[in-house]
Each structure stands twice: as structure tokens, then as C-alpha cells.
Structure 1
Amino acid sequence: MNSSDTTASAELGLRLVVPDRTAVPLVAQVDYTADDPYAIKVAFHTGEDEPVEWIFARELLTVGIVRPVGEGDVRVWPSTDDEERTINIALSSPFGQAQFDAPVSPLAEFLHRTYEIVPAGQEADYVDLDSEIQQHLHT
């Protein structure tokens, strides 16, 4: 895992869950920055030239480690697979659906580092609302 005072990143091993088939191993790059304290960017490396990127609420992944959470496009829930705690992530978009599972431990370690960078409940202290408003007004 790479990290600094304001960013954290890691590679996570995931499995693409394919009904009635063997799960397909994948690697995902997870990134966090204090500049966007509520979000975690996940880049799924699917073998294509460009990874498929999704942005998740940090809290969604955190809560999903202990109980089912989310609705609509993103759902996250815990499970135990062969004595190993895993987290399941189901994604849905107009382009299709996918379900992944991953060991909890590396994700929990990454999330812990994000909370060291920006503690829970202090996210708003890291957001420059004036700058955000100006950016959206000029795009």
C-alpha cells in the first residue's frame, strides 16, 4: 500500500463472480485523497487497455464490511467464504452488471489508512466549498 499525509492507494485482489462458473481473478487499484474526502476511486483492471473506474462513498465500503448496505447501482455486503471473511460488491449500470468479492483484510487495512488521513466526521473540514462552486460554474 502506498500512502502519504493526504493520499492512500493500494492494489486489491478481487474475483469477478460469474454465475455457474469459476470466479475470475482481477486486480483493482483503490485510491483515496483528502481533496475528495468522501470518495474512494476504484479502477478495475479487466484486461482492456483502460481500467473500468467507479467512485464509491468511503462510508459505503466501510459499512459493507459489517452489514449489507446500498441500493440501486451499488450494493455491498459481508460474507464468509471457506473460513475467510469477504466483502461482496454488486454494480449495475446501463452497460451491464457485475459482482465482485474480495478478502476483507486488505480492504479494511486500506480503509483504516484513509481514516488516519481524514477521520470520520471531519470530511467537511477538507472540502473547499467556494472552490467547488467556482469549478462547477466555469465548466
Structure 2
Amino acid sequence: MSSQPGRRLLGRRRGRGRCARPTVLTLVAPSGEPVTLAAQLCYLAADPYAVHLDCEAAPGAAVVRWTFARELLVTGLRERAGIGDVRIFPPGVGDPEHLVMVLCGVESSALLLAPVADVEDFLAAAERLVPTGSEHRHLGVDRLPSDLRRPPGARP
């Protein structure tokens, strides 16, 4: 898991080696008042085991990026997943249309509700891009020896 501030959200995108799905998350505040957040799920074939969740608290605000395992999100659709900074709970009986995500950072934690349909749509696009089990083919390890011999700062 990692969290990085400073990015801007993009619209729905699919391109060579990338897919993204905009969504709206609900932040459950400590007071119990729900707060809506613009967000985007992003998958990059060059980083095949990870998914990225970009959240924007307010229009024009800095975007916070959370990075965690794609498998964590897949598993979280059907059963509890995660034991660290990112925990995901499947849609419940009380709310079958939302997945629960608990994100724990250094300074704070957040409980988010994500629309199941958006998550499933995103994961289906990621699966089309890099089928589960074929991630190792997208790591670029075959380029590693030549990359290591290249002088620092030289472009491939």
C-alpha cells in the first residue's frame, strides 16, 4: 500500500496498457455524515499486480493515490480481504450495492463505500488488459540486464 498526494483525476480512459474507471465514493465521516468524493480506479499493465485508487476531496484539491494489490480488490468483492493498511469488505446484507474499503494512513484513516458495479466494471477491464495469472509476462524482467548496464540518466 502507498498513498501519494498531488495528482489530478482523469476521465474514463482506456489506452494501450492502461484502464481507468471514474467513480464516486462515499466517505463515512466520524460524525456519521456521508461525504462524497470524486475518485478513479486505475490499472497499469506495467504494474500488473497493483491497482490505484485516486481520491479528490474537493474539486481542484490535491488527489491522494492509494496503491494496493489487484487481488485484494477481487477478493474483497466476495469475502473480507486485507490485514494491513487496506482492508476490504464485501457488499453486505444491509447494502448490497457497495463495497466497504478501510484505508489506514499515518495521519488518519478512512472508511469508504464504493459502488460494486463500478468496481466490477473496472476489474473486468483490468482482466481484459492483463488476465489473472499472466501478470508476470508484463513485468519487463527480460529488459532488466540491459537496463542495469545502461549508464545512469541514459534513456532506453
What is the TM-score normalised by the length of structure 1? 0.87
Matches within 5 A, 1:9-88: 9-47=20-58, 49-80=61-92, 84-88=96-100
**Cα deviation 1:79-101 (Å, max 9, x = unaligned):** 23765421111011211111101
* More strand by percentage: 1
The one-letter amino acid paired with 1:23 is: P
More deviation, 53-62/12-21: 12-21
Partner-residue secondary structure (3-state), 1:71: coil
List runs of 5+ in structure 2 lacking aligned partners: 1-11
- Which residue does the alignment assign to 1:106? 118
CA contact (8 A) 2:26 2:34 kept: yes
SS at match of 1:60: helix
Q: Secondary structure at the match of 1:70?
A: coil
Computing the radius of gyration from Cα coordinates, the structure with the larger value is 2
The C-alpha deviation readout for 1:50-98, integer Å capped at 9, x for no partner, is 1111101111011101100001211001123765421111011211111
Deviation at 1:16, TM superposition (A): 0.2
Asked if the contact 1:16–1:101 (Cα under 8 Å) also holds between the matched residues in 2, the reply is yes
Query: Identical aligned pairs, as a percentage?
Result: 30
Equivalent pair of 1:78/1:85 in contact (CA under 8 Å): no
CA contact (8 A) 1:8 1:113 kept: yes
